[in-house]
Structure 1
Amino acid sequence: MAVLKVIEVLSNSEKSWEDATRKAVKHASKSVKNIRSVYVQDQSANIKNNEVTEFRVNLKITFEVE
């Protein structure tokens, strides 16, 4: 039987929400092993001079506990 745990992670990117998600998973995988999935809970963006300057995501990362 597998035991799974969920953590909440915030990330940002100047490129896209997808890039912010990839960065979060890559960074989390340095200390969290057996990542199974990621759920994008929320997305937002910062605006400056009518231009998007930063994409932000709030993620839930699910991983298997050894």
Structure 2
Amino acid sequence: MPEHTYKHIEVTGSSTKSSDDAIRVAIAEASKNLTDVHWYQVTDQRGFIENGEIKHWQVTVKIGFRINR
């Protein structure tokens, strides 16, 4: 297996649907500007509660992408 070098950034996605959707939003938006995106790691999760129900999710993810030589 060839050696690779990765860089990572941290972004926060938000959604009114679910925490999974917030992750997908973050990855989709980051992928518009990055190439060779390979992994993510959830680093923080929070939400907005109204009348005892979750109304909004925010998930911060670390996204790793390969640096091409």
Match of 1:64 among 57, 63, 66: 66
Question: Using the alignment, how far apart are the partners of 1:50 and 1:12 within structure 2?
Answer: 19
| Pair member with larger Rg | 2
Match of 1:15 among 14, 17, 25: 17
Question: Using the alignment, how far apart are the partners of 1:18 and 1:9 within structure 2?
Answer: 14
Match of 1:35 among 37, 40, 59: 37
CA deviations on 1:2-53 (whole Å, 9 max, x unpaired) are 1100100011100111000011111110101101100011111101121111
Question: Using the alignment, how far apart are the partners of 2:51 and 2:33 within structure 1?
Answer: 38
Unaligned regions of 5+ residues in structure 2, if any? none
Question: Using the alignment, how far apart are the partners of 2:67 and 2:59 within structure 1?
Answer: 24
Equivalenced residues, count: 66
> RMSD of the alignment, in Å?
0.8
TM-score by length of structure 1 reads: 0.93
Match for residue 24 of structure 1? 26
Q: Is the 8 A contact 2:14 2:58 kept in 1?
A: yes
Question: Using the alignment, how far apart are the partners of 2:25 and 2:12 within structure 1?
Answer: 10
